[in-house]
């Protein structure tokens, strides 16, 4: 057994993990700092944060008047009032100073003619509490996430942060209710390593690979969420999964909302700008849940292109110079994947699974909380897409994830640092790798004829059919049965690769196991929530029901079942209202 000891472990090297690492390992005035290591299954700069295109929202007011209160209002309303408003207030206030901090680290933002950070409009972001669109999204062309990731990684290297690249974390270690490390595979060798530490922060990103059509990278299999769930920690609000309106038809590859921020328009088969009917004020820049539903409705009512299940994103009326300067990467994608020049031809799009609003419940210092009374689990932290703080409620606004990862990555890193400086190191449980060894042995000895790839693609196709933009009791119940069947088949998986070196098949098997658990949590939460709110839209319960459902779901693992509890929403400034745009 390879054993490493650190004060703090950060799992994940996307925006949230790198920001946390930078803060956690910062030396104090006497040069003292905790010993921090970052473990990542990917080389850090390959993390999904690097694909974020559109921008990061902050009320800098560089091009017109803007206030963090307006940003907070938009976030709360966009999230259909399931947002914890104390957390949203922190996020929208601190967004401003954190964006400047990134600028001072050297992030090459696009600029206004007078040299300030450039900003553009984005879905659901408004001035004066909903009067009209506002330019709030700070961007670096359509490569904002790439620039964030590169900037933070460079800063981490400069500060001497220790990285374990291509280490796949498979278990959280705890003793008597206190965090004491993680178990991980070294992908290159298949060797198991124990990382003994006082504190662990999960920043493992999303789980969009649960669905067939998704904007998410192959690696977004919800590992961190599932690993803690298996250790008895609940997951919050998993039934809220965002579908981004504009994925490339059949592929799901994202066309950023910035394309509509720059003036792009959605059209149906008769060329109609249909969003005017659904959201008269914000039109194509309404929040994503509404636009995705509108596209599904157009298709259901026969107004998809050629009667098929897609519509068009039209940029042809925009100046070619704007498209080339502000949307260069998506121009490239469209040319590569569709052979289309977006300057001349509209782009076929359909909604694509994009973002998990739910995740590991935390407080506003990224400390993991384990029940409805908000009890903290000592030494455990989560930030970024795998966490649920909850600033996105039922539906996240565009640009608010980059803000979330940076603001709460930063706060989490600071809180972890403070804890790791004072807390003692809890001893390891006996046989810390035991559970993992058993899982591997079971997979290696599998005698059945099932394959990971087959079960995974069935899960993804069925989830897309039965638990995506619109849901019904019937479909969700069927889906739960399907998941049970797939879980049963999973026990009969037989691995072809019995080796240890770069055994990605074994890792795929672990990841599928996570996706099956997370799908079960998502569908159970969705079945129980008999209302429509944000991205969770029940055809059989089409209205929001604040009297019964203005509360967060907490899902616990109980054997092979999911047990649900509920937690109140924090409401400070904005009382729930009808959501019109
Ligand atoms: C195509 C696309 C475009 C987007 N555009 C925007 C945008 O313009 N604005 C915006 O606000 N949001 C956008 N988003 C959302 C946003 O980019 C993500 O939610 C955010 O970047 C997630 O950051 P993260 O740090 O939480 O996780 P990630 O960046 O996904 O990083 C996860 C990290 O965890 C590691 N990891 C995972 N599992 C394990 C494991 N088992 N062991 C070890 N390491 C592990 C990975 O190696 C990786 O380093 C976009 C998302 C996509 C998919």
pLDDT of residue 127: 97
What CATH number is associated with residue 533? 1.20.58.100
How many domains does the chain divide into?
Answer: 3
Catalytic pick among 127, 209, 260, 288:
288
pLDDT digits (tens, 9 = 90+) for 177-217: 999 999 999 999 999 999 999 999 999 999 999 999 999 99
Q: Are residues 417 and 385 in the same domain?
A: yes
What CATH number is associated with residue 149? 3.50.50.60
Measure 327 CA to ligand 1 centroid, in angstroms: 21
Is residue 512 in contact with ligand 1, taking CB distance under 6 Å? no
Is residue 521 in contact with ligand 1, taking CB distance under 6 Å? no
Q: Are residues 318 and 466 in the same domain?
A: no
Alpha carbons 261 and 282: distance in angstroms, whole number? 11
Measure 48 CA to ligand 1 centroid, in angstroms: 4
Does a structural domain hold residue 543? no
Is residue 216 in contact with ligand 1, taking CB distance under 6 Å? yes
pLDDT higher than threshold 80 for residue 1: no
What CATH number is associated with residue 328? 3.90.700.10
Is residue 254 in contact with ligand 1, taking CB distance under 6 Å? yes
Q: Residue 446 — very low, low, confident or very high, per pLDDT cuts 50/70/90?
A: confident
Instruction: Among 422, 445, 474, give the residue marking a domain's end.
Output: 422
Atom of ligand 1 nearest to the CA of 510: 41
pLDDT of residue 485: 98
Residue 506 CB coordination number (10 Å): 23
Q: Are residues 104 and 228 in the same domain?
A: yes
Q: Are residues 22 and 149 in the same domain?
A: yes
Q: Residue 449 — very low, low, confident or very high, per pLDDT cuts 50/70/90?
A: confident
What is the DSSP-derived secondary structure letter of residue 484? H
pLDDT higher than threshold 80 for residue 41: yes
Residues 20-53 as b or e (16 or more Cβ within 10 Å = b): bbbbbbeeeeeeebbbbbbbbbbebbbbbbbbbb
Domain holding 166, by residue range, is 2-123+134-240+357-422
Respond yes or no: is residue 230 known to be catalytic. no
Does a structural domain hold residue 581? no
Q: Are residues 467 and 383 in the same domain?
A: no
Does a structural domain hold residue 171? yes
pLDDT of residue 5: 98
- Best mutation site among 401, 405, 407, 507 for ligand 1 pocket (most ligand atoms within 8 Å of CB): 401
Does a structural domain hold residue 428? no
Instruction: Among 396, 422, 448, give the residue marking a domain's end.
Output: 422
The arithmetic mean of pLDDT across residues 256-279, rounded, is 95
Q: Are residues 405 and 460 in the same domain?
A: no
pLDDT higher than threshold 90 for residue 387: yes
Q: What tokens does 28 get?
A: 């104090």
Does a structural domain hold residue 389? yes
Q: Residue 448 — very low, low, confident or very high, per pLDDT cuts 50/70/90?
A: confident
Q: Are residues 178 and 79 in the same domain?
A: yes
pLDDT of residue 144: 96
- The answer to whether the pTM exceeds 0.85 is yes
**Of all helices (H) and strands (E), which one includes residue 101?**
helix 85-105
pLDDT higher than threshold 90 for residue 580: no
Q: Are residues 82 and 149 in the same domain?
A: yes
pLDDT of residue 233: 98
Does a structural domain hold residue 205? yes
Does a structural domain hold residue 558? no
């Amino acid at each position: 057994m390879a054993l490493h000891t650190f004060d703090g472990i950060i799992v994940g090297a996307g925006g949230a993990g790198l920001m946390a690492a930078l803060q956690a390992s910062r030396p104090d005035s006497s040069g003292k700092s905790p010993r921090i290591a970052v473990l990542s299954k990917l080389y850090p700069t390959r993390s999904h944060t690097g694909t974020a295109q559109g921008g990061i929202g902050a009320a800098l007011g560089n091009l017109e008047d803007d206030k963090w209160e307006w940003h907070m209002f938009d976030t709360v309303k966009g999230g259909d009032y399931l947002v914890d408003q104390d957390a949203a207030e922190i996020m929208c206030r601190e967004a401003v100073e954190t964006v400047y901090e990134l600028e001072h680290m050297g992030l090459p933002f696009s600029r206004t003619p007078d040299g300030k950070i450039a900003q553009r409009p984005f879905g659901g972001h408004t001035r004066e509490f909903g009067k009209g669109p506002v330019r709030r999204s700070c961007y670096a062309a359509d490569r904002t996430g790439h620039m964030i990731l590169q900037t933070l990684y460079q800063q981490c290297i400069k500060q001497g942060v220790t990285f374990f690249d291509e280490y796949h974390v498979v278990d959280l270690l705890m003793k008597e209710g206190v965090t004491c490390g993680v178990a991980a595979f070294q992908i290159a060798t298949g060797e198991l390593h124990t990382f003994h530490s006082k504190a662990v922060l999960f920043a493992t990103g999303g789980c969009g690979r649960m669905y067939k059509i998704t904007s998410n990278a192959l690696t977004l299999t919800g590992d961190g969420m599932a690993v803690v769930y298996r250790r008895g920690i609940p997951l919050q609000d998993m039934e809220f999964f965002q579908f981004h309106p504009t994925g490339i038809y059949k592929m799901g590859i994202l066309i950023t909302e910035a394309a509509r921020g720059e003036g792009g328009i959605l059209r149906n088969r008769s060329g109609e700008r249909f969003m005017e009917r659904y959201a008269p004020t914000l039109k194509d820049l309404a929040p994503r849940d509404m636009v995705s539903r509108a596209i599904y409705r157009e298709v259901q009512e026969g107004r998809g292109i050629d009667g098929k299940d897609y519509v068009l994103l039209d940029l042809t009326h925009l100046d070619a110079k704007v498209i080339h300067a502000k949307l260069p990467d998506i121009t490239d994608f469209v040319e590569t994947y569709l052979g289309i020049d977006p300057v001349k031809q509209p782009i076929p799009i359909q909604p694509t699974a994009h973002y998990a609003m739910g995740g590991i419940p935390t407080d506003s210092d990224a400390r993991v909380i384990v029940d409805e009374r908000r009890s903290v689990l000592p030494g455990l932290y989560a930030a970024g897409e795998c966490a649920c703080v909850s600033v996105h409620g039922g539906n996240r606004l565009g640009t608010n994830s980059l803000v979330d990862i940076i603001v709460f990555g930063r706060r989490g890193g600071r809180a972890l640092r403070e804890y790791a400086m004072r807390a003692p190191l809890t001893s390891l449980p006996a046989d810390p790798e035991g559970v993992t060894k058993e899982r591997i042995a079971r997979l290696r000895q599998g005698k059945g004829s099932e394959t990971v790839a087959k079960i995974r693609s069935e899960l993804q196709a069925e989830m897309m059919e039965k638990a995506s933009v619109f849901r019904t009791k019937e479909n969700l119940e069927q889906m739960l049965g399907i998941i049970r069947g797939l879980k049963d088949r999973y026990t009969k998986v037989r691995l072809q690769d019995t080796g240890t070196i770069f055994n990605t098949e074994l890792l795929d098997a672990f990841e599928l196991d996570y996706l099956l658990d997370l799908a079960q949590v998502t569908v159970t939460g969705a079945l129980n929530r008999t209302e429509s709110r944000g991205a969770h839209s029940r055809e059989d319960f089409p209205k929001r029901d604040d009297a019964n459902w203005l509360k967060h779901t907490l899902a616990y693992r109980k054997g092979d079942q999911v047990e649900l509890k509920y937690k109140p929403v924090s409401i400070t400034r904005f009382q729930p209202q009808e959501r019109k745009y």
